[in-house]
Structure 1
Amino acid sequence: MTLKFATDSSTAIDLHVVAKGATDSVPLTKQQRNWVNATTFTGALGTHCLIPDEDGQITAALVGWGTGSARARGRMLFAQYATQLPVGTYRIANTPEDFDADEQALGWLLSGYKFDRYVKPKSQGAALICPDGCDAARLEIIAHGATLAQRLIDTPASDMNPDDLEAAIRALADTHGADFAVTKGDALLDANFPMIHAVGRAAAVAPRLLDLRWGDEDAPKVTLVGKGVCFDTGGLNLKPGASMGLMKKDMGGSANTIGLAHMIMALNLPVRLRLLVPAVENSVSGNSFRPGDILHSRKGLTVEINNTDAEGRLVLADALALADEEKPDLLLCMATLTGAARVALGPDLPPYFTDDPALAAMIDCAAIQAHDPLWRMPFWEPYEPMIEPGIADLDNAPAGGMAGAITAALFLRRFVENAGSFAHFDIFGWTPVAKPARPKGGANQGIRALLNVIERRYQ
């Protein structure tokens, strides 16, 4: 399969999307209808029927659209047929009234993603002619950005360390003519990024801050900050093996902001984009930062370390402080930050935090329109004392383990004062069980909704 729509319709096979029990609505010859009836195809979701011609070649196909209640349990459900149908080019011939062509066509494209870096690529699968009324170029850009995020997450840390993450953003900058700067190793101390340095200094590959800028300098400033912990052992508070197995995905926040940055630049949105990624590995060595240490931050706030496995908020804090100094109109932070968020909402529904009700309303609306679910959670003020340890300004891992997603968000908010609007997204970055348009593995989460927000906010 491919992440582009087919353009040659000369051999395209007609594809009929059929609600359950509505096969009579499909324009078929008597012979074809007899064939469909013989196969017992009813239009149930997840089923399809191939109709042959006199030579046994496929001349049309019917795919099930099911019932409203069945469709309510999923999204991009049409995409499942991209992997079920035989190789060929398909053209949607007719659809039910509630068929969102943009959503379903994008889902078809996203189904073309396969992480095949270490295996022999399989042959291309079913291709789709872009449905009438859809913007093919736009959908292809979104699909590329979304699967770019997935591919970066799926790549193991052996090939996705801070050097490799830097190379990925540098390639993105080259593609779009963006400016790119790197602050690396001990230069982080000279440039006043002490917490990024502290978290990453024990690793074999030096920590760094990656900084991409693009767009008209007079345009509204939109800054994306993504957590780039390329692997997280937990540091001296070492994770157990079962918890370490998926830690290649701990740079999922950066991967998603990279994917979103691609969409913004490829669509040439009228903004001044900045992408900041603190790229580190949280490793164990003789110079690892320790429980009980007190770190100084770029903002001047001190942080008591009560768990070295709560490192993501530390590197993000320095990057957010830098972003905030520029007073962006919109500051968005994405991170695979807390297990508490997954306990609360599961892997498919990322929580987000913002104090801006207008921005929240836009995000909620965009999440529905883009079929990219997000759920607002509160910056709950009464929990502020939980992140104040007494011997430092902040505690990176409050005792007790309660409200972990909220206290982490409150921690990050302490480093943002000047942005016009700020939102933090605590994503999982992983699809544990394959679903239509979402293979098992690295996940894009929230970025299609955020693209919608940025377009509406700055149109």
Structure 2
Amino acid sequence: MTAPSFAPDAPDAIPLLAVEPEGLDAALDALPPEQAAWARTLGFKAGSGEVALLPGEGGLAHALVGRGKPERRGRERFALAKAVAKLPEGAYRLDGNLPERELREGALGWLLEGYRFARYKDQTPPKARLVAPEGVDAARLETLAAAEWLTRDLINTPSNDMGPAELEAAARQVAEEAGATIRVTVGDDLLAENFPLIHTVGRAAAPHRAPRLIDLIWGGDGPQLTLIGKGVCFDTGGLDIKPSASMLTMKKDMGGAATVLGLAKAIMGLGLPLRLRVLIPAVENAIGSDAFRPGDILRSRKGLTVEVNNTDAEGRLVLADALALAAEGEPGLTVTFATLTGAARVAVGPDLAPFFTDDEDLATALARGGKDWADPVWRLPFHEAYESMIEPGIADLDNAPSGGMAGAITAALFLRRFAPPRYCHFDIFAWSQSNAPGRSKGGLMMGARALLAALPEALGL
């Protein structure tokens, strides 16, 4: 797949004027009279994503794109991307006095709109390309778009072609491109190196889909950032098997791993002055003669025991061992990304990335970063009154408390028992349920741009 990029600047780039309804008459009056008349004939009203193509002597002389009413702009992200498929082939230069955030969002959305998942069927990308608008960091936007394209590709790949071994291969490629080191612990070696929960969850899978822990390290100076992604490459639910309808999107249960690999690609590509560690427990939660069972009590790397009350709550188990490993070193800021609970979707829906942290400054920076970079996030609490809900009495912890209440919070509290002191957890959906501007149906990166924007403040970069 061709990397996302802006068009080279050229004198023949077609002017693309972004217009809002309130300023439409003034914008048309500034055009040559014949072009203004043509726009009025077309009935152009400057609605969100609406396009008017204005001819000139040599062909297309100008294009108008609607911004929509200001009071409705908060309802959709990447509205400019709605116009991309409506424009004929060519390079376009965005005109108009857009606010900085809207200009940046529009340019990034244009790049994201170009994504197509074409591994199994040819897909035609849009042929309209944008010249990088003046005032935006084009290289940064291209890097962010490339990171998201990688994340989407990994999530969209079906599980027969994206098992633990293939996820490892993707991590190795990311490491090789950036000059990072990588170490992978596979199969029974997980037991020898004391990763019992990762081994237990993945041990029922076929030998060629054996569980593993991927450990990538990059950078020699600066503050430490540890990213941990849930890499459940397919989740049957285990012996507590999921209904058929619930399994249809379970190729995305490695969305946390895909997100941290995309984010790592961006961090390394931008050359941020930090030390990065990426940990991915990669498993398949399969059903077999060696599958772990409801009622089993497991001992974790940290030594805490866990009663298994639902084998479909496996993500927190594999993350627990990875978090314990991170806590043994110099973790700095540690962040987990995981498609962990349906409860998070019930709480905030599919469009928000909920996060948990006790770090007030980080929470503020994340909220600001999400707003600035069209990556909406929402803070949920580590509500300590619910700690007793994850304490079954027969073991230290319960992986799936009964009662059906506060599922996202209890899962986050479970992870915090294993985490280093400075910790943030994202419970992401990693999926777009339908085509939207800049977000085609399928795999989706969530929370990563917000975190990237927060890092300078969070780590003192």
Q: Specify if TM > 0.5.
A: yes
Q: Is the 8 A contact 2:3 2:146 kept in 1?
A: no
1:176 partner letter: A
Asked if the contact 1:304/1:392 (under 8 Å) is kept, the reply is yes
How many corresponding residue pairs? 455
Is it true that 1:361 corresponds to 2:364 in the alignment? yes
Map of 2:395 onto structure 1: 392
Determine the structure 2 residue equivalent to 1:138.
140
Q: Report percent identity of matched pairs.
A: 55
Write the distance in 2 (CA, Å) between the matches of 1:359 and 1:97. 26
| Counterpart position of 1:100 | 102
How many angstroms does 1:151 deviate by?
1.0
- Aligned residue in 2 for 1:403: 406
Deviation at 1:439, TM superposition (A): 0.8
* Match among 192, 195, 199 for residue 193 of structure 1: 195
Distance apart, 1:327 and its partner CA = 3.0
TM-score of the superposed pair, with normalisation by structure 1: 0.97
Looking at structure 1, the residues matched to 24 and 361 of structure 2 have their Cα atoms a distance apart, in angstroms, of 45
Q: Quick check: 2:84–2:126 contact (8 Å CA) kept in 1?
A: no
Runs of 5+ unmatched residues, structure 1: none
Indicate which of 399, 402, 417 corresponds to 1:414: 417
Q: Which moved more, 1:5-14 or 1:34-43?
A: 5-14
Give distance in 2, aligned partners of 1:202 and 1:243.
20
Q: Identify the residue that residue 167 of structure 1 maps to in structure 2.
A: 169
Q: CA offsets per residue over residues 260-281 of structure 1, 9 Å max, x none?
A: 1011101111111000000000
User: Which residue of the other structure, out of 32, 52, 56, is the alignment partner of 2:55?
Assistant: 52
Matched, 1:214 2:218: yes
Identify which of 222, 238, 262 aligns with 1:235. Answer: 238
Structure 1 counterpart SS, 2:313? coil
The answer to whether 1:179 aligns with 2:184 is no
The answer to whether structure 1 residue 65 and structure 2 residue 58 are counterparts is no
Amino acid at match of 1:207: P
Query: Aligned partners of 1:98, 1:41: CA distance in 2, in Å?
Result: 25
CA distance in 2, matches of 1:8, 1:136: 12
Q: Name the amino acid aligned to 2:428.
A: I
Alpha-carbon displacement from aligned partner over 1:293-347 (angstroms, at most 9, x marks no partner): 0111000000000000000000000000001111321000000000000011100
The separation in 2 between residues aligned to 1:244 and 1:120, in whole angstroms, is: 26
Residue number in structure 2 paired with 1:352: 355
Q: Secondary structure of 1:254's match?
A: helix
- Residue number in structure 2 paired with 1:76: 78
Match of 1:434 in 2: 435
- State the secondary structure of the residue aligned to 2:150: helix
SS of residue matched to 2:67: strand
**Aligned match of 2:7:** 6
Q: Give the Cα–Cα distance (whole angstroms) in 1 for the partners of residues 299 and 285 of structure 2.
A: 18
Decide whether the 8 Å contact of 2:226 with 2:277 is kept in 1.
Answer: yes
One-letter amino acid of the counterpart of residue 210, structure 1: I
Residues in 1 aligned to 2:84 and 2:432: alpha-carbon distance in whole angstroms: 19
Q: Indicate whether 1:278 and 2:281 are aligned.
A: yes
Matched position secondary structure for 2:172: helix
Contact 1:107 1:437 in 2 (8 A): yes
1:112 aligns with: 114
Instruction: Tell me the residue number matched to 2:90.
Output: 88
Which one-letter code corresponds to 1:12 in the other structure?
A
**Alpha-carbon separation, structure 1, partners of 2:263 and 2:300:** 27
SS at match of 1:17: strand
SS at match of 1:72: helix
Q: Which moved more, 1:365-374 or 1:1-10?
A: 1-10
In the alignment, which residue of structure 1 is the partner of 2:331? 328
| Offset of residue 8 of structure 1 | 4.2
CA contact (8 A) 1:146 1:447 kept: no
SS of 2:75's equivalent in the other structure is coil
Is the Cα contact below 8 Å between 1:271 and 1:458 reproduced in 2?
Answer: no
> Residue in 2 aligned with 1:296?
299
Alpha-carbon separation, structure 2, partners of 1:93 and 1:367:
26
Asked if 1:33 is matched to 2:36, the reply is yes
User: Aligned to 2:149, which of 147, 159, 164?
Assistant: 147
Query: Does the 8 Å CA contact 1:220/1:328 hold for their aligned counterparts?
Result: no
Shift of the alpha carbon at 1:93? 2.2
Report the Cα distance in structure 2 between the residues aligned to 1:368 and 1:266, rounded to whole angstroms: 23
After superposition, the Cα gap between the structure-2 partners of 1:97 and 1:181, relative to the gap in structure 1 and judged at 3 Å, is: closer
Query: How far did 1:97 drift?
Result: 4.8
The Cα offsets for residues 112-159 of structure 1, whole Å up to 9 and x where unpaired, read as 111111012325511000000111111100111112111110110011
> Structure 2 stretches of 5 or more lacking a match?
none
Q: Which moved more, 1:365-374 or 1:224-233?
A: 365-374
Structure 2: distance between partners of 1:259 and 1:20: 38
Cα RMSD of the aligned pairs, angstroms, is 1.3
> Aligned to 2:214, what secondary structure does the other structure show?
strand
Deviations 1:138-184 (A, max 9, x none): 11001111121111101100111001000000000000000000000
